[in-house]
Amino acid sequence: MNVFKFGGASVKNAEAVKNVGKVIQLFKDDLTVVISAMDKTTNALEKVVDSYMNGDGKCFEYLQEVKDFHYQIMDELFGDLPEGKAGKKHPVFEEIHNTFVEIEWEIEDVPTREYDYVYDQIVSVGEIISTKIVSAYLNHIGVNNIWVDVRNIIQTDNTHRDARVDWELTEKLAQEKLALFCHPEPVEGRNIIITQGFIGSSSENFTTTLGREGSDFTAGILAFCLNAKSVIIWKDVPGMLNADPKLFSDTQKLNNISYREAIELAYYGASVIHPKTIKPLQNKNIPLYVKSFVNPNEPGTLINENTSEDSLIPSYIFKKNLVLISISVRDYSFIMEDHLSHIFGLFSQFGVRIHLMQNSAISFSVCVDNNQQKLTRLIESLNSKYLVKFNDNVELLTIRHYDNETIAKTTQNKEILLIQKSRNSVRMVMK
């Protein structure tokens, strides 16, 4: 069995959904196919949640946009019903309609539950709808498949929006339930399961989500639990590139990198795969391919245990619009462990994510995301005990497998505020 993952861009419109059908038909083995919400639906549903929670009266209007978007795609996919059924809508229309009605019920009354809980109940619908449409379309064109609600398999705690997986229970359910769906002698010689990324279920049976862009992780979880032969993440790029093509003109594809290298790149912010995806695959030595859904026969990038090609090509990872904060002790005493533990406590309390840190005798510098709200509160708290200075709108560049030339090329006309070097990576905060 292989696990496929199709992200939002690969199901962004009717044409894209049709292409998913073509890609799946290229393969002959059993497949578990994990699919995200269509295009920017997750963002659009976040808007519905925000509006509902702050009571600005626009949530139904925002939901209507999400509905129109999906109905348009369905019209294009199911408009050509075979003769005899002409004029009759495909049953998926009613199914999707009912799913939307459930959200409408949810947002009719004033909110009584906390934001994160409500978020998961509403935003998860993007994945439910997307998979129902794709599954119905594939059956419609004769690619027989079974739609599975992944919430019956992926069990989590109740940390809404960032749920932790209960691996033991999930593994047991995956093996029991997915095997149940799979016919021992399927009609076309193989089984196809269509299911959702990103979502799970808490022990109280409420929907949870695994964090934004979490569908890759779902593919990793299911592959681990089902001992898959391989995972293929289908993207709109030819594979993992050594830099973001939106920022660099001459990118190169990485043909084969190790799990370790992939985790490092994802950690530094390469956005091709979700950082949590690799560990379950590495644990069972399951190869991961990142391939283009536009050119599915091209080899893409292979991620496995082979480290021999890791350092062949330098990779560049840019993070923009960060803030560099420098914290020093007012009385010129040294920054000691007790200060650091107090400082870290505040960062964790206010949920400010640290991208890079460095300390000297009397000061401690950290580079963080520019989240105004959180930062203002953090800096207020720090101010009572420390002298705090900051530099906003800085960028952090990480180069894996750097040399002098790559550094010189990327720092031209830039002021370097801080630099950190290890054997494999150089990280620079610049303005």
Sites for ligand ASP among residues 5-24 (CB under 6 A): 7-8
Q: Exactly one of 19, 32, 42, 170 binds ligand ASP (CB under 6 A); which one? A: 42
Whichever of 212 and 385 has its CB closer to ligand ASP, that residue is 212
Q: Exactly one of 12, 161, 212, 260 binds ligand ASP (CB under 6 A); which one? A: 212
- Asked if residue 8 binds Mg ion (CB under 5 A), the reply is yes
Per-residue x/- track, 392-411, ligand ASP (CB under 6 A): --------------------
Q: Taking contact as CB under 5 A, which single stretch among the options 34-42, 52-60, 143-151, 356-364 is the one that binds Mg ion?
A: 34-42
Whichever of 36 and 301 has its CB closer to Mg ion, that residue is 36
Any residues with CB less than 8 A from the CB of 120 and at least 6 apart, and which? 160, 161, 199, 206, 207, 208, 209
Total residues contacting ligand ASP by CB under 6 A comes to 12
d(CA 156, CA 175): 17
Q: Exactly one of 133, 137, 201, 214 binds ligand ASP (CB under 6 A); which one? A: 214
Q: Exactly one of 166, 213, 261, 310 binds ligand ASP (CB under 6 A); which one? A: 213
Q: How far is the CB of 215 from ligand ASP (least distance, A)?
A: 3
The entry of ligand ASP, Mg ion, none that residue 214 binds, CB within 5 to 8 Å by partner kind: ligand ASP
Any residues with CB less than 8 A from the CB of 304 and at least 6 apart, and which? 256, 258, 259, 285, 287, 288
Sites for ligand ASP among residues 91-130 (CB under 6 A): 126
The entry of ligand ASP, Mg ion, none that residue 239 binds, CB within 5 to 8 Å by partner kind: none
Whichever of 212 and 253 has its CB closer to ligand ASP, that residue is 212
- Asked if residue 198 binds ligand ASP (CB under 6 A), the reply is yes
Whichever of 137 and 198 has its CB closer to ligand ASP, that residue is 198
The entry of Mg ion, ligand ASP, none that residue 402 binds, CB within 5 to 8 Å by partner kind: none
Query: In what helix (H) or strand (E) does residue 356 lie, and over which residues does it extend?
Result: strand 354-359
Q: Taking contact as CB under 5 A, which single stretch among the options 8-16, 53-61, 258-266, 339-347 is the one that binds Mg ion?
A: 8-16
Q: Exactly one of 19, 36, 131, 135 binds Mg ion (CB under 5 A); which one? A: 36
- Asked if residue 156 binds ligand ASP (CB under 6 A), the reply is no
The entry of ligand ASP, Mg ion, none that residue 212 binds, CB within 5 to 8 Å by partner kind: ligand ASP
- Asked if residue 37 binds ligand ASP (CB under 6 A), the reply is yes
DSSP result, 286-333: --EEEEESSSTTS--EEEES--TTTTSS-EEEEEEEEEEEEEEETTS-
**Could you tell me whether strands 230-235 and 288-292 are parallel, antiparallel, or unpaired per DSSP bridges?**
parallel
- Asked if residue 214 binds Mg ion (CB under 5 A), the reply is no
Q: Which long-range contacts (CB under 8 A, 24 or more apart) does 68-74 make?
A: 69/38, 69/39, 69/41, 69/44, 70/38, 70/41, 70/96, 70/129, 70/133, 71/96, 72/14, 73/13, 73/14, 73/17, 73/38, 73/133, 74/133
- Between the alpha carbon of residue 196 and those of residues 7, 270, 406, 424, the distances in Å are 10, 23, 41, 37
Alpha helices (runs of H) in 196-307, residue ranges in sequence order: 215-226, 259-268, 278-283
- Asked if residue 220 binds ligand ASP (CB under 6 A), the reply is no
- Asked if residue 126 binds Mg ion (CB under 5 A), the reply is no
Can you name the residues that pair with 3 across neighbouring β-strands?
Answer: 32, 231
- Convert 262-295 to b/e letters by CB count within 10 Å (16 or more is b): bbbbbebebebbbbbbbebbbeeebbbbbbbbee
- Between the alpha carbon of residue 230 and those of residues 10, 176, 348, the distances in Å are 19, 20, 37
Residues that bind Mg ion (CB under 5 A): 7-8, 36
Residues that bind ligand ASP (CB under 6 A): 7-8, 36-37, 42, 126, 197-198, 212-215
